[in-house]
Each structure stands twice: as structure tokens, then as C-alpha cells.
A and B are shown apart, each in its own frame.
Chain A
């Protein structure tokens, strides 16, 4: 009757961890493909408004971003709680947009400049006054293609 009895000491075989790295590499590639580099540090709090009819931004490399919102909590002591404009990594005023757009244009190739899109990322509680100023300035720089950044809301 000792046919099914374990005979002697039996060791559990070690799990081969050789394929573990393959799995992790697969994860890695997934993240590399689906994400893009964070290009700048957020200095303003931006909670995007919701919209149902949003479209995707086509050429991400041809877009420049204008962030508008209240400064983050850590910076509020220094800059106050009024809505500010952030270009690249610092707070700017409306007058600096001209230089910013010129610099962005400069960095693109000749043929791509006409497709440049300026993405306005504004907080939903920002007043339109500041955005109107930005829009007027963009018109003056003839950067006419703009996009109001918005989150996709589900259709009811």
C-alpha cells in the first residue's frame, strides 16, 4: 500500500525566473510606446473642462502649449492665487507670448510651420478675460490654429 506514498524527501523544483525578464520587457515596451515624455514641469493647476465633441490632436510634435491657471500651492506664497500664464517652465505675461510663438516657429522646419497648433490648456475656473487677451495676442502673431484643450466626457 505504499504505492502512492511519498518516498523519502522530495524537493519542490525551483521556479525558473528566466522568463520573468521577458515579461517585464514586454511591459516596458508597452509603456514606451503608449506614453510620451513629460516636457515641462507644471507650475499651474489645470483642471480641464469637459466636452463631448473633442477631437484628438493630430501632430503632437507641431504643437506648443500655453498653460493658464492658478499657481500650484507651493508657489502661491510667491505668486498669489490669481490666474497666471505658464510658457515652458516659467510664469509669463501676455506680452511674452509673441517671443514664445516666434521661438516655437523657429524650432520647426519650414514646411511644418503652417500646421503649428497652439494648445490652450486652461483651468475650467479661469475667467475668459485672460484667455481673450491670449487669443488676441495669438491673432497678432498670426498663430491662428488653436485648440481648446478639454477632457472627453462620455455622451449620455
Chain B
């Protein structure tokens, strides 16, 4: 007759698992990285002559942040809460104002002709600007563009930008481009 094997005491496996759990809790970090994605302009060639790109004056808006975190958009000082609306008006130019950027009919694959604004936002900062203010301004600029993209998407597809499939998102991205130029650093502060 076969002997019965005695049951293995399994109450300690919980302890082992707890030890493992504690190890993972200590050595790992939670949460994913989030942030604002940007592409830096490539360094200009040394041989290449520095020539200013001919951008029509009406097509560019200069956003400056000084060392006291004050913001200048275009020609007048502005509060950060108003910046988004100003950028939206600048980029969409709803009344075809001749002082605001021109719009060019561009063929977009899969959509047809769309009026694409040629507006460029040029962001300049001082060495003494705080990072927080800089990110806040960057955030407002992205928010303005995102809202315009949402408007374009709802008008044409009846959905917000994030709900669209990827190929449609590309079309919207082409129709509402994100032209933010981070200019060469300038030392504006005079101490």
C-alpha cells in the first residue's frame, strides 16, 4: 500500500511573496513620464552665411518672457491667461485681417484643399526667466494649437482630435501646423 505523502505546509509562501513584493516596492518607481515634446532646430552650418529667413512681418508673432517672468506678445505686455486667446486669433485669423498671418490654400493628401495659416510663433526668453514661467508659456502655446486642432477636427469629422484615427490626425496636424520657433538665445538682461 502506498504511503500518503504528508501535505507540505504552505503558510510560509505568503511570507516569501511578501518579501518579493517589498523588494519591488522599494526598487521601482510608479507612474509614467509626461511632458511637452519639442523638436530643436538643427545647428546652423558654420560655412553657411547667417541670413535672416525672409518671413513676412505679419506672419510672425514674437513672445518674449523677461527675467521677471513678464510676457510680451507681439507689441504689448500681456497676462498669461490672455495669451492662449491671442495666439488662437493670431493663428486662425478669422476676419482675414491684413495685419495677421496670411493663409495659403494647401493640398493635403486625403482631405483636399485647406487654408493653412503661415503664422509662426517665435519664443524668446531671458537667461533669468524661471523654468516654471517658460513651461507655462509653452503650455499655453500648445493649448492654443490643440484647441484649434480640436475645432478643425469637430468641424470636419465631428470628433475631437484625440478621438480621431491616426491618419485623420495627420491630416489635422497638416492643416493646423505647430510652428513654434525657439529662437537663438539672447541675453536681454542688462544688469
Contact = CB atoms under 8 A, between A and B. Distances in A.
A38 B28 contact: yes
A124 B24 contact: no
A54 B146 contact: no
Q: Is the interface of B mostly helix, strand, loop or mixed?
A: mixed
Given A20-B14, A35-B30, A132-B125, A139 B43 contact: yes
B29 A38 contact: yes
B82 to A, nearest CB: 15
B35 interface: yes
A10 interface: no
Give chain B's interface residue range (CB within 8 Å of chain A): 35 or more
Interface string A18-57: 1011001101100110111110000000000111111111
Interface stretch (A73-81, A92-100, A102-110, A145-153): A145-153
Nearest to B10: A18
A60 B127 CA distance: 30
Q: Is the interface of A mostly helix, strand, loop or mixed?
A: mixed
A46 B40 CA distance: 23
A131 B20 CA distance: 40
B35 A36 contact: no
B21 to A, nearest CB: 5
B53 interface: no
Given A35-B30, A126-B131, A135 B182 contact: yes
A73 B127 CA distance: 25
Interface in B121-150: 125-132, 134-136, 138-139, 142-143, 146
Contact of B34 (A32, A57, A144): A57
B79 to A, nearest CB: 16
Contacts of B40: 135, 138-139, 144-146
A28 B28 contact: no
A61 to B, nearest CB: 12
B14 A21 contact: yes
Given A32-B24, A51-B135, A148 B35 contact: yes
Contacts of A116: none
B35 A127 contact: no
B99 interface: no
Contacts of B27: 37-38
Contacts of A139: 40-43
A149 to B, nearest CB: 4
B32 A21 contact: no
Given A124-B131, A148-B138, 6 more contacts: A28-B17, A31-B28, A125-B131, A128-B130, A142-B42, A147-B37
6 contacts: A17-B14, A56-B34, A63-B33, A124-B135, A147-B37, A149-B33
